[in-house]
Each structure stands twice: as structure tokens, then as C-alpha cells.
Amino acid sequence: MPVGEPGAAPRMRRRGLATRARLVDAAKQVFEEHGFLDARIIDIAERGGVSHGSFYHYFESKEQIFREVAAAQEERLTAPPADDDRLAPSPDDTATDRIRKANRRYLEHYRDEARIMGVIEEVSRYDAEVNTARVQRQKHFAERAERAIRRLQAEGLADAAVDATLAADALGAMVARFAELWLVQGYRRYDFEHAVDQLTRLWANALRLEDGPAPRRSRAKRA
């Protein structure tokens, strides 16, 4: 279709977006295999199905495409849970059940993407933009955890004397750092189910959690 014909420009934009997305996927694979420092633009371009020169039509540098890979990964980690009966909320969930599902979801996502997470953690130590994305991810989980802690306190299920903001930051950092040491650094080997259970116990103990059912279930019983 000639460029001047109706519909040509949108089709070209769609094709450009598809190529850009393909390059990001290719870059993720190359960074996983070689790390950031040893990854080469020519390898990313080849795997993405474009010429070396065409790469620069979409990205200015290796740093730029890595930042996009990192941002996409942070979005995956913070995305709402996919349809999964194991992790779906239930009116029968106890307070501890809710925490266990959140810990399991985070650790499963991290485990499934451990190779690229390791590269992101490394690069975040010297790249301000990647570190910002990493910090925003941590803030996302901390804010969500803080809201959950405050709800538990309001329901009379968690220690009201606990500072919800501080607890969310500290407990979230514990899980994030544990995931990196375990799943990226290989610091120790743990059974996955045991790790989920123990992290959940640490959360529950820190909040002095009363393992009662969700209030909606209690109100339904009284009704």
C-alpha cells in the first residue's frame, strides 16, 4: 500500500510498534543470557529480526532498551494476579491466608523471572533510571501492604500499636531481599512451599495477627 493511501500511516505505526516490542523481547533474552555488560546491540538486533542499523530507529542505545526491559518487568511484578484459583481471594480466607497468597504471588513471579531480575538488581546499583523503577516497584508493594495492615488493624486482627507504614516497608523489604538472595544469588536452597510458609509466619508474628476470618464472612454468618 503506498504511503499516501488511507490507512497506510496507521499500518506503519502498528508495524513499528510490533517491531519495537519484538526488540524488547529479544533484548530481555540477550540480557538474561549475557548480562548487561556483555550484551551486544548486534545480538539484540539479530534476534529481533532487524539490521544493526535499524535498531537505532527504535532505540538510541543499549541502556535505553534495557531501561524499557526493566520497566516492563516491574509492570509484570506489580500487575494484578492472573486468573488462578489458588490465589483468588475467597470469603473464607483468614488474615494469614491473605498474606500467604500475596507472598506466594510475589515469589512465583520473581522465581519465574529470576534471570532478568538478577540483571535488573545489578544494573540498578549504578543506573539511576533503573533504580527508580525498582524503588517504585517496592513502593507499590509497600503501599498495598500498608493498606492491608491498616484494614487488619481496623478489623481488630492485627496489633494496633504496630506502625503500619514502617511495618509495610520493613516486611516488604524482607521478602524482596530474601527473594533476591534465594532466587538470584543462590545464597541457600529452600523448598518453595516451606519458604512461602515461613515468610508468612514472620509477617503474621510481626503483626501479632489474630487469624480470624474476613469480616464479610462474619457478617454473613450473623445475618
Domains and their CATH numbers in the chain: 8-59 (1.10.10.60), 78-217 (1.10.357.10)
Residue 1 pLDDT class (50, 70, 90 cuts): very low
SS3 75: helix
Output the CA–CA distances (angstroms, integers) from residue 108 to 87, 113, 188, 194, 207, in the order listed.
11, 9, 17, 13, 24
Q: What is the pLDDT of residue 189?
A: 95
Confidence at 219, pLDDT banded by 50, 70, 90? very low
Q: 94 φ, ψ to 5°? A: -85, 175
Model pLDDT, residue 8: 57
Q: What is the pLDDT of residue 188?
A: 95
Asked if 208 and 162 touch (Cβ cutoff 8 Å), the reply is: yes
pLDDT, the chain, mean: 86
Residue ranges of alpha helices (H) inside the chain are 8-38, 41-48, 52-58, 62-78, 95-112, 114-123, 128-154, 164-179, 192-206, 215-222
Amino acid identity at 181: L
pLDDT of residue 70: 92
Share of the chain above pLDDT 70, in %: 84
pLDDT at residue 121 greater than cutoff 60 = yes
Average pLDDT (127-133) is 88
Q: Which residue has the cell 526493566?
A: 70
CA pair distance 27, 116, nearest whole angstrom: 10
169 Cβ neighbours under 8 A, 6+ residues apart:
142
